[in-house]
Structure 1
Amino acid sequence: MKKILIIAFMALSFGAFAQVEPTFEKEGDMVKATYFHANGEVSQQGYFLNERLEGEWKMFNEKGDKIAVGNYENGVKSGKWLFWEGDVKKEVNFDNNRIASVTNAKTKEPVAVNN
C-alpha cells in the first residue's frame, strides 16, 4: 500500500510540473503566439512579424488576470503600456524601447457615478 501511495504521489508531482508548450498560429503575414503558465493558464499572447515581436501583447498571471498590455513595433516596445499591480495601474510610455514616463493611478475608483 505504501508503494502505491508513493507512486501515485510521484505521478501527480510530475504532472504538476509539466511544461505547457506554446502555440503558434499563422494569421496572414503574422504569427499569433500564445504562451502558458505551468497550470495551463495563458501567460502571454501576441504576434510576431518577420520573427520580431509586433503589435499588441498581453500578459497574465497564473490566475488569468491581465497584468500588462502594450505594443511592439519591429521588436521594440513603443507607446503606452499598462501594468496592473493590485489596486494600482501604471501607465508607462516607451520611446525606442526606453521608458519615457511613468504614471500611477488607482484602479478601484469608478470612472463615472450616476446620481
Structure 2
Amino acid sequence: MKKLLASLVVFILTVSVSFAQEKEPTFEKQNDLVKATYYHDNGMVKEVGFFKDNKLHDKWISYDQEGKIKVIAIYSNGKKEGKWYLVGEESIKEVTYKSNKVIKVKEVEESTLSFI
C-alpha cells in the first residue's frame, strides 16, 4: 500500500510540474511592431515573430520541440514575401514569395542558414 501511495504522489508531482512548465505566449512592443513569442508544451520556444497593425510582419522563425529551426519566414503586412527557408530532415528548401505567391523553389545548403 505504501508503494502505491508513494507512486501516486510521484505521479501527481510529475503532472503538476509538467503543467507548471507550460508557458503562455509573450508580447513585447518594439517601436511600431509587437514581438510575439509562442511556446511548445515542454516550455521550448515554438515561434518568434512580429506583428504590425495586427498582421504578421517581418521575420518569423519556427522551432521544433528540441529548439531546432524548422521555418524562417518573412511577411509584409500579412502577406508571404521574400525568401522562406523550410528545414526538413534531409534538405533545406528556399521558397521565394511575392505577394503571397510562390515565385521560385530551390534546395540550398545548410550553411545558408548560418547568416540568417
- TM-score computed with the length of structure 2 as normaliser: 0.82
Task: Give a deviation string over 1:41-96, Cα, whole Å, max 9, x none.
Answer: 11100111111111111111111111111210001111110111123110011122
RMSD of the alignment, in Å? 1.8
- Aligned 1:85-104 pairs, distance under 5 A: 85-104=88-107
* Counterpart residue number, 1:69: 72
Matches of 1:102 and 1:7, distance apart in 2: 53
Q: Runs of 5+ in structure 2 lacking a partner?
A: 112-116
* Counterpart residue number, 2:63: 60
Q: Which of these residues, 2, 5, 8, is aligned with residue 3 of structure 1?
A: 5
Q: Runs of 5+ in structure 1 lacking a partner?
A: 109-115
Matches of 1:15 and 1:104, distance apart in 2: 42
| Runs of 4+ residues over 4 Å off in structure 1 | none
One-letter amino acid matched to 2:93 = K
- TM-score computed with the length of structure 1 as normaliser: 0.82
Q: Give the match's secondary structure for 2:81.
A: strand
* Counterpart residue number, 1:80: 83
One-letter amino acid matched to 1:87 = E
Matches of 1:73 and 1:94, distance apart in 2: 11
Matches of 2:89 and 2:109, distance apart in 1: 9
One-letter amino acid matched to 1:8 = V
CA drift at 1:14: 4.5
Q: Percent identity?
A: 32
Matches of 2:103 and 2:81, distance apart in 1: 10
One-letter amino acid matched to 2:47 = Q
Deviation larger for 73-82 or 11-20: 11-20
* Counterpart residue number, 1:44: 47
One-letter amino acid matched to 1:50 = D
1:35 and 2:35 aligned: no
Task: Report how many aligned residue pairs link the two structures.
Answer: 108
